[in-house]
Protein backbone atom coordinates (compact mmCIF):
# COMPACT_ATOMS: atom_id res chain seq x y z
CA UNK A 1 0.00 0.00 0.00
CA UNK A 2 1.24 3.48 -0.89
CA UNK A 3 0.58 6.12 1.74
CA UNK A 4 0.03 9.85 1.70
CA UNK A 5 1.78 11.85 4.40
CA UNK A 6 0.21 14.95 5.92
CA UNK A 7 2.63 17.86 5.69
CA UNK A 8 2.16 21.53 6.71
CA UNK A 9 1.56 22.58 3.11
CA UNK A 10 -0.94 19.84 2.30
CA UNK A 11 -0.94 16.31 0.97
CA UNK A 12 2.14 14.93 -0.70
CA UNK A 13 2.55 11.47 -2.18
CA UNK A 14 5.11 9.38 -0.35
CA UNK A 15 6.55 6.12 -1.48
CA UNK A 16 5.88 4.43 1.83
CA UNK A 17 4.61 0.86 1.74
CA UNK A 18 3.25 -1.05 4.72
CA UNK A 19 3.69 -4.74 5.40
CA UNK A 20 2.72 -7.04 8.25
CA UNK A 21 5.30 -8.03 10.83
CA UNK A 22 6.02 -11.69 10.14
CA UNK A 23 8.82 -14.20 9.99
CA UNK A 24 9.55 -12.86 6.50
CA UNK A 25 9.79 -9.21 7.56
CA UNK A 26 11.46 -9.86 10.92
CA UNK A 27 15.02 -9.15 9.59
CA UNK A 28 14.02 -5.65 8.43
CA UNK A 29 12.17 -4.92 11.67
CA UNK A 30 15.13 -6.16 13.74
CA UNK A 31 17.54 -4.08 11.68
CA UNK A 32 15.55 -0.92 12.46
CA UNK A 33 15.35 -1.72 16.18
CA UNK A 34 19.10 -2.47 16.31
CA UNK A 35 19.83 0.82 14.53
CA UNK A 36 17.92 2.65 17.28
CA UNK A 37 19.64 0.93 20.23
CA UNK A 38 16.82 -1.48 20.92
CA UNK A 39 14.33 1.43 21.14
CA UNK A 40 13.56 3.14 24.45
CA UNK A 41 16.30 1.47 26.46
CA UNK A 42 16.23 -1.89 24.71
CA UNK A 43 12.47 -2.47 24.96
CA UNK A 44 12.16 -4.25 21.60
CA UNK A 45 8.46 -3.27 21.70
CA UNK A 46 7.83 -5.85 24.45
CA UNK A 47 6.49 -3.68 27.29
CA UNK A 48 2.86 -3.92 26.19
CA UNK A 49 3.07 -7.70 25.82
CA UNK A 50 4.34 -8.41 29.33
CA UNK A 51 2.13 -8.88 32.38
CA UNK A 52 5.07 -8.96 34.81
CA UNK A 53 8.77 -8.34 34.83
CA UNK A 54 11.06 -11.11 33.65
CA UNK A 55 14.00 -12.37 35.67
CA UNK A 56 16.16 -11.60 32.64
CA UNK A 57 15.15 -8.10 31.56
CA UNK A 58 18.09 -7.53 29.21
CA UNK A 59 17.65 -6.19 25.66
CA UNK A 60 18.96 -9.51 24.32
CA UNK A 61 16.27 -11.40 26.24
CA UNK A 62 13.58 -9.05 24.97
CA UNK A 63 14.80 -9.43 21.40
CA UNK A 64 14.59 -13.22 21.71
CA UNK A 65 11.13 -13.01 23.29
CA UNK A 66 9.87 -10.70 20.55
CA UNK A 67 11.15 -12.95 17.78
CA UNK A 68 9.53 -15.93 19.48
CA UNK A 69 6.16 -14.14 19.56
CA UNK A 70 6.51 -13.25 15.87
CA UNK A 71 7.26 -16.87 14.96
CA UNK A 72 4.23 -18.01 16.97
CA UNK A 73 1.96 -15.45 15.28
CA UNK A 74 1.35 -13.64 18.58
CA UNK A 75 2.84 -10.25 17.67
CA UNK A 76 1.16 -7.90 15.22
CA UNK A 77 2.50 -4.72 13.69
CA UNK A 78 2.25 -2.64 10.57
CA UNK A 79 5.78 -2.00 9.29
CA UNK A 80 6.45 1.07 7.16
CA UNK A 81 8.94 0.75 4.31
CA UNK A 82 10.71 3.42 2.31
CA UNK A 83 11.96 1.30 -0.55
CA UNK A 84 13.63 -1.73 1.02
CA UNK A 85 14.22 -0.07 4.40
CA UNK A 86 11.86 -0.49 7.34
CA UNK A 87 11.55 3.03 8.80
CA UNK A 88 8.79 2.67 11.39
CA UNK A 89 5.93 0.60 12.74
CA UNK A 90 2.62 0.56 14.57
CA UNK A 91 2.08 -2.26 17.06
CA UNK A 92 -1.47 -3.58 17.47
CA UNK A 93 -3.21 -6.67 18.77
CA UNK A 94 -6.13 -7.93 20.86
CA UNK A 95 -6.08 -7.12 24.59
CA UNK A 96 -5.00 -10.65 25.51
CA UNK A 97 -1.92 -10.16 23.32
CA UNK A 98 -1.24 -6.64 24.62
CA UNK A 99 -2.55 -6.61 28.21
CA UNK A 100 -0.59 -3.54 29.36
CA UNK A 101 -1.26 0.10 28.57
CA UNK A 102 -0.06 3.32 30.16
CA UNK A 103 -2.43 4.94 32.70
CA UNK A 104 -3.98 1.52 33.21
CA UNK A 105 -5.39 2.30 36.67
CA UNK A 106 -7.31 5.30 35.34
CA UNK A 107 -8.42 3.25 32.34
CA UNK A 108 -9.77 0.42 34.50
CA UNK A 109 -11.54 2.93 36.78
CA UNK A 110 -13.89 3.68 33.86
CA UNK A 111 -15.08 0.03 33.94
CA UNK A 112 -14.28 -0.40 30.25
CA UNK A 113 -15.61 -2.91 27.79
CA UNK A 114 -12.41 -4.19 26.26
CA UNK A 115 -11.97 -3.51 22.54
CA UNK A 116 -11.38 -6.09 19.85
CA UNK A 117 -8.02 -4.51 19.06
CA UNK A 118 -5.52 -2.14 20.67
CA UNK A 119 -3.00 0.14 19.00
CA UNK A 120 -0.12 0.68 21.38
CA UNK A 121 3.46 1.45 20.35
CA UNK A 122 4.20 3.64 17.32
CA UNK A 123 7.75 4.35 16.24
CA UNK A 124 9.53 6.25 13.46
CA UNK A 125 13.26 5.79 12.93
CA UNK A 126 15.88 8.49 12.96
CA UNK A 127 15.48 10.88 10.06
CA UNK A 128 11.82 9.94 9.52
CA UNK A 129 10.08 11.69 12.39
CA UNK A 130 7.57 14.29 11.27
CA UNK A 131 7.50 12.85 7.74
CA UNK A 132 4.23 10.97 7.72
CA UNK A 133 5.54 7.62 8.95
CA UNK A 134 3.23 7.56 11.97
CA UNK A 135 0.11 8.16 9.87
CA UNK A 136 1.19 5.53 7.35
CA UNK A 137 1.83 3.03 10.14
CA UNK A 138 -1.59 3.60 11.71
CA UNK A 139 -3.32 3.34 8.34
CA UNK A 140 -1.47 0.08 7.71
CA UNK A 141 -2.55 -1.28 11.09
CA UNK A 142 -6.20 -0.44 10.38
CA UNK A 143 -5.94 -2.13 6.99
CA UNK A 144 -4.54 -5.28 8.60
CA UNK A 145 -7.27 -5.28 11.25
CA UNK A 146 -9.89 -5.12 8.51
CA UNK A 147 -8.31 -8.18 6.87
CA UNK A 148 -8.23 -9.95 10.26
CA UNK A 149 -11.97 -9.53 10.76
CA UNK A 150 -12.46 -5.90 11.78
CA UNK A 151 -13.99 -4.71 15.02
CA UNK A 152 -13.59 -1.91 17.52
CA UNK A 153 -10.10 -0.45 17.83
CA UNK A 154 -8.79 1.55 20.78
CA UNK A 155 -5.67 3.69 20.95
CA UNK A 156 -4.26 5.82 23.76
CA UNK A 157 -2.60 8.91 22.26
CA UNK A 158 -1.37 12.09 23.89
CA UNK A 159 -2.96 15.48 23.32
CA UNK A 160 -0.09 17.76 22.29
CA UNK A 161 -2.20 20.84 21.58
CA UNK A 162 -0.69 23.93 23.19
CA UNK A 163 2.45 22.20 24.44
CA UNK A 164 5.74 20.95 23.12
CA UNK A 165 6.21 17.20 22.92
CA UNK A 166 9.19 15.50 21.35
CA UNK A 167 8.16 13.04 18.59
CA UNK A 168 10.75 10.64 20.00
CA UNK A 169 8.62 10.22 23.15
CA UNK A 170 5.16 10.07 21.56
CA UNK A 171 5.22 6.28 21.62
CA UNK A 172 1.39 6.17 21.78
CA UNK A 173 1.05 8.75 19.00
CA UNK A 174 -0.54 12.19 18.94
CA UNK A 175 -4.26 12.70 19.41
CA UNK A 176 -4.44 14.97 16.35
CA UNK A 177 -3.00 12.25 14.11
CA UNK A 178 -5.58 9.71 15.19
CA UNK A 179 -8.42 12.20 14.76
CA UNK A 180 -7.28 12.94 11.20
CA UNK A 181 -7.50 9.20 10.53
CA UNK A 182 -11.09 8.84 11.70
CA UNK A 183 -10.67 7.97 15.40
CA UNK A 184 -13.05 9.61 17.89
CA UNK A 185 -12.36 10.72 21.44
CA UNK A 186 -13.92 8.44 24.03
CA UNK A 187 -12.61 9.64 27.41
CA UNK A 188 -9.49 11.04 29.08
CA UNK A 189 -7.37 8.74 31.24
CA UNK A 190 -4.71 11.27 32.23
CA UNK A 191 -3.79 14.92 32.04
CA UNK A 192 -2.91 14.61 28.36
CA UNK A 193 -3.83 11.02 27.47
CA UNK A 194 -7.05 9.99 25.77
CA UNK A 195 -8.83 6.82 24.77
CA UNK A 196 -9.84 7.07 21.11
CA UNK A 197 -11.86 4.55 19.14
CA UNK A 198 -12.68 3.55 15.60
CA UNK A 199 -14.76 0.63 14.38
CA UNK A 200 -13.92 -1.00 11.06
CA UNK A 201 -15.68 -3.70 9.08
CA UNK A 202 -14.35 -7.05 8.03
CA UNK A 203 -12.71 -6.51 4.62
CA UNK A 204 -14.58 -9.59 3.35
CA UNK A 205 -17.92 -7.87 3.95
CA UNK A 206 -17.22 -5.08 1.52
CATH number of 197's domain: 3.40.630.30
| Domain total in the chain | 1
Interval 144-162: pLDDT, tens: 999 999 999 999 999 988 7
Interval 106-147: pLDDT, tens: 999 988 999 999 999 999 998 898 899 999 999 999 999 999
Give the pLDDT confidence score for residue 62 in this predicted structure. 92
Mean pLDDT per 10-residue section of the chain, whose length is 206 residues: 48 77 97 91 90 68 94 97 96 96 94 96 90 94 97 96 69 93 96 96 82
Phi, psi of 151 (to 5 degrees): 130, -170
What sign does the dihedral 137-138-143-149 (CA atoms) show? positive
Give the pLDDT confidence score for residue 173 in this predicted structure. 93
Give the pLDDT confidence score for residue 40 in this predicted structure. 80
pTM of the predicted model as reported, rounded to 2 decimal places: 0.89
User: Which residues, other chains included, contact 3 with Cβ-Cβ below 8 Å and sequence gap of 6+?
Assistant: 14, 16, 17, 18, 80, 132, 135, 136, 139, 140
Which residues span the domain enclosing 132? 2-205
Amino acid sequence: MLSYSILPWGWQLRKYETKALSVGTWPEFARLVDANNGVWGGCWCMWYHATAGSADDSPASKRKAKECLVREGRAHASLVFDGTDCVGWCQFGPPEELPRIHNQRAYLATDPTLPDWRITCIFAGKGYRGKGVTAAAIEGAVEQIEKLGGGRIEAYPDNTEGRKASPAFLFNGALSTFERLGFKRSRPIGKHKWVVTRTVRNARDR
